[in-house]
Amino acid sequence: MITPGQFFRLFTIQRTLIRHGVDEIIFGTPLFHSFRFLLYLLPWNWWRRKYAPTAVRLRHVLEELGPIFVKFGQILSTRRDLLPDDIAEELARLQDRVPPFPGSEARRLVEKAYGRPLTAVFAEFSEEPLASASIAQVHAARLKDGREVVVKVVRPGILTVIRRDIGLMYILAGALEKFWGQGRRLEPTGVVAEFEKTLIDELDLLREAANASQLRRNFAGAEAIYVPEVHWELTLREVLVMERVTGIRVDDVAALKAAGVNLQWLAESGVELFFTQVFRDHFFHADMHPGNLFVQPLSGGHARFVPVDFGIMGSLSDFDQRYLAENFLAFMNRDYRRVAQLHVESGWVPRDTRVDDFEFAIRTVCEPIFDRPIRTISVGHLLLRLFQTAQRFHMKILPQLLLLQKTLVNVEGVGRQLYPDLDLWAAARPSLERWLHERVSWRKFMRAVREHAPSWLERLPELPALTIEALDRIKSGRWDEATQKELQRLRKDLLRAQRQTRRLILGSTLLLGMALLWAGTAVPPGRTLLLLALAGAGLVLVLTALRGD
């Protein structure tokens, strides 16, 4: 049901589309091609007009429709699995800049949020905004103790605007899925839902503050990066107060050179920091354009990065993280068969995908790229080409992987701007190899055993009962043939899991017991071989359990 506000908004959208000739683009799509004759019956098309290229027209339309559509275009630009390259690249040029709302209104909103006069909280508050975006606006201030801070305030009335425009996007997406043959596969309502979640998350400044605190904690004591401190006692859902930081914009190469910064070191350090966030911390800043990244020069040509704006952060599960790291290393080694196998093993492509066909498709994409000079190879665009290739094999692109790809393109672009000969592969390899080594270390294994052993022991007694219950249902005929086969497979899996769990617990107990005994007491003569044999038996049990034999 369209609300009155949405109805009048449609007139504005229609007028904007007509002014830029986007109706011509719409009637040229397969969905409306049969009705193209209507284009010549519309009066505004009786006079021939000269238009910009399609991609440029779409960007101008989104800019005129306002900040919500601009942000939608920015997010859509990362979905290169859905858009042609020229349109995606043009949408990536969209800038989230909107006219500021009055500083007096910002003061009123902050006082309303705190429930007291601004002078009771800050010694000074500048009504002149430092920055203004579609969701919030930033002002400078000083605390009573003299510390400089920035105050971020949510834009008034923005939630109403979001609900109105998102509602229209859902209506359009639903129509595409219903009437367009490719609509169901591309899931436009899913794209809109993802965009809505991003906007709602950005409205909650407590969430952004938590993101900043987490990133600060992850890099506490690090020399190459500094994350500003959040003042939690002054931070609310509508108001965020953070330490004010200064620095040189990361894309101001002339100023960085004048400050004596080693640009090669800075570029390689930035790449390593990004991969550290992804693979060590599972948590990365996903909006790393030059406006959100500053540099503070240090001695000896070194410097440290200072990120700001923590509204969009990305994360990867252990599962995706492991397969992604192994994919990167396989690419570095040009082991395309391993890349294809990893995609199948991870479930990113269907299990029945022919590995040799997929390997050939990957080689076709990668070989022409890897034969070029290192400085011309873009890892972010290589990932994009692989996503597009994998779609032919029915790969469903996960949002977190697209966010990672978009961030990697930003990081790589900044790095190449600082140092054109940047070898991203070489800069990333130490972080990836260190992470993979730590994953298979004994320390990691023993920590996992300690964490999961109580859960294994608690659930172990349930496995026989679950198996018996499933068999009883099969015997009573309450399951169809397909379900029976699935349950038979499940029974085998449960029995195998039970055996593996017993082996893992017994083997871990033997290893831990022998280690503690060896470390805590002197070994009696003649007992050394016995202890080694028990430890060896424990190791064999653990390894067979992990291999799934």
Residues with catalytic function: 287
CA nearest 428: which of 256, 249, 295, 272? 272
Classify 262 in phi/psi space as left (phi over 0), alpha (psi -120 to 50) or beta.
beta
CA nearest 505: which of 454, 465, 549? 454
Alpha-carbon span 68 to 134, nearest angstrom: 7
Alpha-carbon span 13 to 277, nearest angstrom: 41
Q: What is the SS3 assignment for 2? A: coil
Contact in structure between 135 and 124 (CB atoms under 8 Å): no
Contact in structure between 137 and 309 (CB atoms under 8 Å): no
Alpha-carbon span 484 to 489, nearest angstrom: 9
Which residue type, as a one-letter code, is found at position 164? R
> Residue 217: how many CB atoms within 10 A of its CB?
10
> Does the CA dihedral 245-249-250-255 come out positive or negative?
negative
| Residues found in the chain | 549
Which residue type, as a one-letter code, is found at position 161? V
Contact in structure between 107 and 125 (CB atoms under 8 Å): yes
> Residue 44: how many CB atoms within 10 A of its CB?
10
Contact in structure between 231 and 243 (CB atoms under 8 Å): yes
Question: What counts of helices (H) and strands (E) characterise the chain?
Answer: 22, 9
The first and second tokens of residue 47, run together, are 């006079």
Alpha-carbon span 549 to 545, nearest angstrom: 6
